[in-house]
Amino acid sequence: MHSRDKLIVALDVGTKGEAERLVKALSPQVSVFKVGKELFTAEGPAVIQMIHSYGAKVFLDLKFHDIPNTVGAACAAAAGHGVFMLNVHALGGRKMMAQAVESARRAAENAKKAPPVLLAVTVLTSLAESDLREMGVERPLETEVRELALLAKACGLNGVVASGREIKLVREAAGKDFLIVTPGVRPLWAAQGDQKRVVTPKEAMELGADYIVVGRPITQDPAPASAAERVLKELAGFC
């Protein structure tokens, strides 16, 4: 892949207008844009259509977590919109993830579209081990990530969303063909923000990430295209 294909820019904004300003500025350099809960709740599928109109792809980051039938229906709807990538929470369990895979595959086939890349969220990058303890998770954070990744693979998902600090253990456990998308990526010149388990773009690639997600360091920069270019230069040696 070209470096531009490895970078996913998070559109963590509240309106379609703000998102389009960024997509227009960045789409010559960036292939994939992440649409999360705030933007999708505010603007709906029109945002997906807007991004597609610029020739870019969509990572629909809604982290579905519900009963199997409901998650399956949501994944089918996403596949019908032609999204490139979407995710579910691995903690939804085996039946939920298996239903997500089957429903997305069937919907894409019916719509004559490529099936979306389906990812599992293991442990959010904003969480530390102490946070897991508060929620009753007793096993170490790294063990939790590894076991959830293996469960996702067993259910037929394409990969996981995982912190850079867990890339190596996921790769060793799940193999080289299991995709790893790493959020919480912060260039050295950017603030860490509310992320606790962060790595730089170069570190993420060295560890073996397939894609990285970068948001505020690019989208809140006065010159987002220039900020994206700085990140892409870090990735260029890994393509």
The most confident of 182-191, 211-220, 229-238, by mean pLDDT:
211-220
pLDDT digits (tens, 9 = 90+) for 53-109: 999 999 999 999 999 999 999 999 999 999 999 999 999 999 999 999 999 999 999
For residue 218, pLDDT beyond 90: yes
Q: Does residue 63 carry a catalytic annotation?
A: yes
Residue 190: the pLDDT is 65
Query: Alpha-carbon distance 141 to 120, whole Å?
Result: 16
Return all residues near 232 (Cβ < 8 A) that are at least 6 apart.
3, 4, 7, 29
Return all residues near 175 (Cβ < 8 A) that are at least 6 apart.
153
pTM: 0.92
Average pLDDT, the chain: 93
For residue 158, pLDDT beyond 60: yes
Catalytic residue among 16, 63, 95, 176: 63
Between residues 125 and 187, the one the model is more confident about? 187
For residue 195, pLDDT beyond 50: no
Torsion (CA) 153, 239, 184, 73 in degrees, nearest 10: -40
For residue 220, pLDDT beyond 80: yes
CATH no. of 3-238: 3.20.20.70
Helix (H, G, I), strand (E, B) or coil at 86: strand
CA geometry: angle 115, 26, 89, nearest 5 deg: 40
Q: Which of 83, 116, 90, 80 is nearest to 101 (CA)?
A: 116
Exposed, middle or buried, 175 (CB in 10 Å: 0-12/13-18/19+)? exposed
- The rounded percent of the chain whose pLDDT value lies above 70 is 95
Q: Where exactly are the structural domains of the chain?
A: 3-238
